[in-house]
A and B are shown apart, each in its own frame.
Chain A
Amino acid sequence: MTENYFEVLRPGINTTFQDNGRKNFYHIGIPFSGAMDNRNFVIANAISNNKKNSPVIEFALQGPKLRYKGDKVYFNVTGDVNFQILRKNKIEEGVCYQNLVLENDDCIDIISTNRSVYGYLSINASFKINFYLDSCSVNTKAGIGANNGKILQKNQIIKIENITKKYSLNKLDYINSKIENIRVIKGPHFDYFSKTAKELFFKEKFSITKLTDRMGIRLDGPKIENIKYTNIKSEGLVKGTIQITADGDPIVMLSDHGTIGGYPKIGVVISADYDKLVQIPPGSKIKFKEINLKDAETIFKLYEMETQNLISKTK
């Protein structure tokens, strides 16, 4: 039996193993983590005929360049991604959302994501990686998850096992829609802010700054004036929570966020808009739109139906 593996020729900016994250550890300071864009994560596994929660390689902005060694394997890339497959005698332009073959010595070069942040690489096999607290998801801050809790490193080897012999040309025609409006439910400290600030929050645009990663997004825009307390006694956070710092800037908590925080919560991004929010690249502008809980729940059902629909279309 030959050994199958990827050799990391270029790791990319922030390339990590992810699945759907770990539950039940917020109380000891460990957030969910997991794939940032859940829809593109589940589609990647569906195209590979993998189990729903199988580990994938997540990359951000610039992805990895990987050389493959071993028996024939299939892979797919999801997201809005510009990539190439470097074969023996030719360079092939990559197409997202379909299984592509990889033979010994072929390279995958994930050049960049297009006007988006995250993309996913899945194979119809499994990565030989370690799990921590029931998940492979890498949380670099706590140093936990696959790859000893680290991002991919140059020249490292990623071992591959259990290549599925059965192959089907799964593909999906899907275009990631881009949005500017992010829907938000008011938070428990909404009334800590002045009347003007509350109006500005839902009226003006905010820019996504470069201080943005898997932990959170720092926004730049009109200052949100606090008229009560700029600090609260630290309390739990959830992903999508928008806190206003003492300087009046909004910060949005993302999948690797600190589990507790001491800034007032002006609102929380609805679950259905999370995947789209994380895909908006630094430099873009967003606008918050107020929505109530009931509507958010209905929209989430639609979001789930749509995801399910996309999964069934891959077969």
Chain B
Amino acid sequence: MIKNISNLGDAALYCDFGNDVNREINLNVIQFFKNIKKSNIPGITNITPSYNKLIISFDLSITNFNKIKTEVEKLNFKNEIINEGNLIKIPVCCDNDFALDIKRLEKLLNLEKEEIYKKFFSKKYYCYMTGFIAGMPFLGDLDGSLYARRLDTPRVKVPKNSIGITEQFCNIYTFESPGGWNIIGKTPLDIFDNKNNTSPNLINPGDTISFFQISKLEFEKKYD
């Protein structure tokens, strides 16, 4: 449940669900996000769920902070059944050409690369949020033995579709972008399809992701 609602500037609400990062709190944030979307409160222009916060932007020319806050507080007391997301399977090629930081991880985690991949592929991941760049999913949680810090110097260009890990999280670079996560492979799937005008995102907050390994040959076939 929301612990506190404050204003973020004059055209947004800052809903605080606490400071912890876990699936339970995040499911609460996402459930709230879905409820607010369904409620069609006039004037809301954007809703951004993250690990433990929900930001609601509104059009100041038709509503204001107090009006939206009152509406949101009404929803806060409704206890609805959590709606589970979709299960999405993502192929990953871990060829050395794509696994840019696997050597660094072997040293940092003191694990052979086979072990790293075994641990990585054996878990299902939960999508806490999507964003920063269009469609980028923030997934978790990794096996505790795979927690690694970010690169000391972030890459200027991380190749599009790279799979990166840091701390307990994993993400997919939906576009070529600067970034400091440890890159362990690449998917041939377009996670964000900027030609799709209705639902460009393959992964949405609340979804569950399972990764499976493919060979370089299979990877190249998918690109044809």
Contacts and interface: CB of A to CB of B under 8 A. Distances in A.
Q: Is chain B found bound to chain A in the same assembly?
A: yes
Interface of A: 23-30, 32, 132-133, 139, 141-144, 149, 185, 187-188, 233-238, 240-241, 258-261, 265, 268-271, 293, 296-297, 300, 304
How many interface residues does chain B have, given as a range? 35 or more
Contact of B175 (A24, A142, A185, A237): A142
Interface of B: 6-12, 14, 16, 19, 21, 33, 45-55, 57, 60-61, 64-65, 129-136, 138, 174-175, 177, 192, 194, 197, 200-201, 204-205
A217 to B, nearest CB: 16
B6 A188 contact: yes
Contact of A132 (B46, B130, B197): B197
A6 B216 CA distance: 46
Contact of B46 (A23, A241, A258): A23
Contacts of B47: 24, 26-27
Contacts of A185: 7, 9-10
Contact of B53 (A23, A236, A270): A236
Contacts of A241: 8-9
25 contacts: A23-B45, A25-B46, A27-B48, A28-B131, A29-B133, A29-B134, A29-B136, A29-B174, A132-B197, A141-B175, A142-B192, A143-B175, A185-B9, A185-B10, A233-B50, A234-B132, A236-B50, A236-B54, A237-B48, A258-B133, A260-B132, A270-B9, A293-B10, A297-B65, A300-B61
Contacts of A139: 134
B205 A234 contact: no
A229 B130 CA distance: 23
A142 B134 contact: yes
A129 to B, nearest CB: 14
Contacts of A296: 9-10
B8 A268 contact: yes
A143 B10 contact: no
A240 B135 CA distance: 22
A297 B197 CA distance: 35
B9, B53, B64, B175 — which one has the most chain A CB atoms within 10 A of its CB? B9
Contacts of B200: 28, 133
Contacts of B136: 29
A310 to B, nearest CB: 15
B50 A271 contact: no
Contacts of A265: 8
B60 A233 contact: no
Contacts of A25: 46
A258 B6 CA distance: 22
B60 A271 contact: yes
A269 B9 CA distance: 7
Contact of B50 (A235, A240, A300): A235
A288 B68 CA distance: 27
A142 B175 CA distance: 7
A132 B199 CA distance: 11
B138 A234 contact: yes
Contacts of A297: 10, 60, 64-65
A12 to B, nearest CB: 24
A233 B135 contact: no
A143, A185, A236, A260 — which one has the most chain B CB atoms within 10 A of its CB? A236
B7 A29 contact: no
A84 B64 CA distance: 43
A234 to B, nearest CB: 6
A233 B46 CA distance: 20
Contacts of B134: 28-30, 139, 141-142, 144
Contacts of B45: 23-24, 32
Contacts of A236: 48-50, 53-55, 131
B131 A240 contact: no
Contacts of A268: 8-10, 12
A29 B61 contact: no
A119 B148 CA distance: 46
B11 A271 contact: yes
A188 B132 contact: no
A234 B60 CA distance: 25
Contacts of B50: 233-236, 260
A179 B64 CA distance: 26
Given A27-B49, A27-B131, 17 more contacts: A23-B45, A24-B46, A27-B46, A27-B47, A29-B131, A29-B134, A142-B194, A149-B194, A187-B8, A233-B51, A235-B55, A236-B53, A260-B129, A261-B132, A268-B8, A268-B12, A297-B65
B64 to A, nearest CB: 6
A238 B201 contact: no
B90 to A, nearest CB: 17
Contacts of B204: 27-28
Contacts of B8: 187-188, 238, 241, 265, 268
